Amino acid sequence: MKTFAENLFGEDDKLKSSVLADGELDTRHGPILYMEDVSVSFDGFKALNKLSLYIDAGELRCVIGPNGAGKTTMMDVITGKTRPDVGSVFFGQTIDLLKMDEPAIAQVGIGRKFQKPSVFDALTVFENLELALKADKRTWQTLFFRLSGEQRDRIGAVLETVGLSAFAKERAGILSHGQKQWLEIGMLLMQEPKVMLVDEPIAGMTHQEIERTAELLLSLQGERSLVVVEHDMEFVRSIAKKVTVLHEGTVLTEGTMDEVQNDPRVIQVYLGG
């Protein structure tokens, strides 16, 4: 039988060796995700300009920056949606993400939560999570496959994590906007990503939902890494240890929220002063 790495990477020895024997990612000597000197041009315009970013295992990183700074393009490059002109993007020390397509990158452990929730309204909350199970790709073909006890437990644990246990049997269509966002985060968690990219998680949420989302994201760090792109500075302050400020496709500065907010370059970029 083929190993996990062989299924993912075929016969490529270099890629195979990047996943340790027990399926763990090799992050022993550095960050879990990094991009170096990445540039992306659209019709000559540099959306990313020698961008370098290093994300540690277990950290929750917030990425901010004015409109057009390159935040979305950065996530598109990590997830394989956009190919850079130059630069490198690695998962762990040895998995070269630029050699993989979007589905392979998702499968290797990088999950992305888009701004707009895309849950299945007609299915129950439980069924949405069931669909997201990565254990068996055929799950997508039939909703009525038999779940193992272990899989049920996993769904139960995710329901608890995202605070939707009481809604398990309800159709997702009746959920509030915030609850749908949490369900989608839950669907991502079913795939057990090692890195989660989260795009503007609180857009359109009530104050209470925002607080709950901060708690949820904070609870997810450690076991996995999160990269959160968000415009709401108050929210960023409530969750961030380290903030990266992007501007014109490159890192303007990094530090604590206090450090970056007091950086004259950041003030100038945001206020245009």
Ligand X SMILES: Nc1ncnc2c1ncn2[C@@H]1O[C@H](COP(=O)(O)OP(=O)(O)OP(=O)(O)O)[C@@H](O)[C@H]1O
141 near ligand X, judged by CB under 6 A: no
Binding segment toward ligand X, per CB under 6 A, in 27-35, 69-77, 154-162, 258-266: 69-77
Binding segment toward ligand X, per CB under 6 A, in 63-71, 83-91, 123-131, 187-195: 63-71
Distances (CA, A) of 251 to 66, 76, 224: 12, 17, 23
User: How many residues lie near ligand X (CB under 6 A)?
Assistant: 10
Instruction: Report residue 192 as tokens.
Output: 């057990």
Among 49, 72, 94, 107, binds ligand X (CB under 6 A): 72
CB of 78 to ligand X, least distance (A): 12
- Cβ atoms of 260 and 253 closer than 8 Å: yes
- Cβ atoms of 32 and 91 closer than 8 Å: yes
Query: How far apart are the C-alpha atoms of 196 and 75, rounded to whole Å?
Result: 10
140 near ligand X, judged by CB under 6 A: no
- Cβ atoms of 39 and 49 closer than 8 Å: yes
Among 27, 73, 79, 244, binds ligand X (CB under 6 A): 73
Nearest to 213 by CA among 193, 234, 194, 192: 234
Among 1, 67, 144, 271, binds ligand X (CB under 6 A): 67
Query: How far apart are the C-alpha atoms of 206 and 211, rounded to whole Å?
Result: 9
CB of 81 to ligand X, least distance (A): 10
8 near ligand X, judged by CB under 6 A: no
| 89 three-class SS | strand
- Structure-token match 């809604």, residue found: 167
65 near ligand X, judged by CB under 6 A: yes
71 near ligand X, judged by CB under 6 A: yes
84 near ligand X, judged by CB under 6 A: no
- The binding site for ligand X (CB under 6 A) comprises 42, 47, 65, 67-73
